Structure 1
């Protein structure tokens, strides 16, 4: 009698006397029917990983070597005047030239402790008031800084005369000096700026910037 729940097939006498039929085994990629195929051996991944690590080391090392060969800041001779077009001034001790931001005949940027002292020369055929308004508008609208107080005049130790004003931001403060040389149709823009989180450091950097400005004259060319 068949087990409960399972369908019971009736067999004829012929079925009972016939010899059992054995199906031929089929192969699937070398495996025997009814048996799982043998797992392929895994290829080791450490050669590729090692090659990738070596490439990264070479890349980083190459960048470090390039940085050493082409430094962003270069020391300047102490006490020796620096020249940019007609402008000439003596750098304060400890300030270095930012090579990346300096352009021969156009701009000269000195840096120290996060502060910058930028000197630029350009052709200018307008008046002093127009130049002043342009620079203030650029700071307020372009850089989102605010101009503090009214512009005032200044003189250098060599009798150079111009206009200056201060500006401020959330993390930056600076001062701009403008000098127009009418005989050469040239304007010299001196821009000092840097972080203002440390008031003492900012005040010291401003004093050094004022000393560099005081040494400036326009007799270099």
Structure 2
């Protein structure tokens, strides 16, 4: 009878070690990049220069930074200052003049556990921008929501400002200033 041939043993640990080192370098590199890349970037704008968020454009207040992760080019823009947030969202709208305001209120009340403060009221800015607004609050934050529906352009602009109760009055004044400078004449891309 023939004996089976003996296989010459070969080492597998160098290849396995190389794969393990490649994985560790990849994960470590991504972690390093994530920790050293800021999520909020200062706005490099001259004083009085506008910033666009879809069809809306406005002059940001001093000291607000853009949240890169939560901003989508041509659709939404999130600004941060301390713990306060100012989000502008634009989208096409073919519905009625009230827009999805009731849906937004239900989402805040039921989905996020917030309380709507008072009734919905109308607002008009110095540029003639008009829409509906309401205030809301929760256990740790408070905010104000503005909505503008332009039936002629078939567009919807929603502005949501919120943050912790500390420093809310000053940040709300800056948010109102940004809203007051807002215009929806920017061309849609």
Q: TM-score, normalised by structure 1?
A: 0.68
Q: Deviations over 1:14-51 (max 9, x none)?
A: xxxxxxxxxxxxxxxxxxxxxxxxxxxxxxxxxxxxxx
Provide the aligned length of Structure 1 versus Structure 2. Answer: 163
Which of 40, 63, 66 is matched with 2:31 structurally? 63
Which of 95, 116, 121 is matched with 1:147 structurally? 116
Contact 1:97/1:109, CA 8 A, preserved across alignment: yes
Which of 108, 117, 122 is matched with 2:91 structurally? 122
Matches within 5 A, 1:65-144: 65-68=33-36, 70-76=37-43, 77-79=45-47, 80-129=49-98, 131-144=100-113
Unaligned stretches of 5+ residues in structure 1: 1-55
Contact 2:127/2:181, CA 8 A, preserved across alignment: yes
Q: Deviations over 1:137-182 (max 9, x none)?
A: 1111111111000111111221111111000100010000000011
Contact 2:54/2:76, CA 8 A, preserved across alignment: no
- The alpha carbon displacement at 1:62 in A equals 6.2
- The alpha carbon displacement at 1:86 in A equals 1.3
Equivalent position of 1:171 in the other structure: 140
Say if 1:124 and 1:59 are closer, same or farther in 2 by CA, change over 3 A: closer
Equivalent-residue separation in structure 1 for 2:71 and 2:99 (angstroms):
26
Contact 2:121/2:132, CA 8 A, preserved across alignment: yes
- The alpha carbon displacement at 1:131 in A equals 2.0
Contact 1:110/1:118, CA 8 A, preserved across alignment: yes
Unaligned stretches of 5+ residues in structure 2: 1-23
- The alpha carbon displacement at 1:102 in A equals 0.3
Equivalent-residue separation in structure 2 for 1:184 and 1:67 (angstroms):
42
Q: Higher RCO, 1 or 2 (CA under 8 Å, sep at least 6)? A: 2
Q: Does 1:216 align with 2:187?
A: no
Which of 162, 165, 186 is matched with 2:155 structurally? 186
Equivalent-residue separation in structure 2 for 1:217 and 1:159 (angstroms):
9
Equivalent position of 1:11 in the other structure: none
Equivalent-residue separation in structure 2 for 1:167 and 1:123 (angstroms):
25
The structure whose Rg is larger is 1
Equivalent-residue separation in structure 2 for 1:130 and 1:177 (angstroms):
11
- The alpha carbon displacement at 1:59 in A equals 6.8
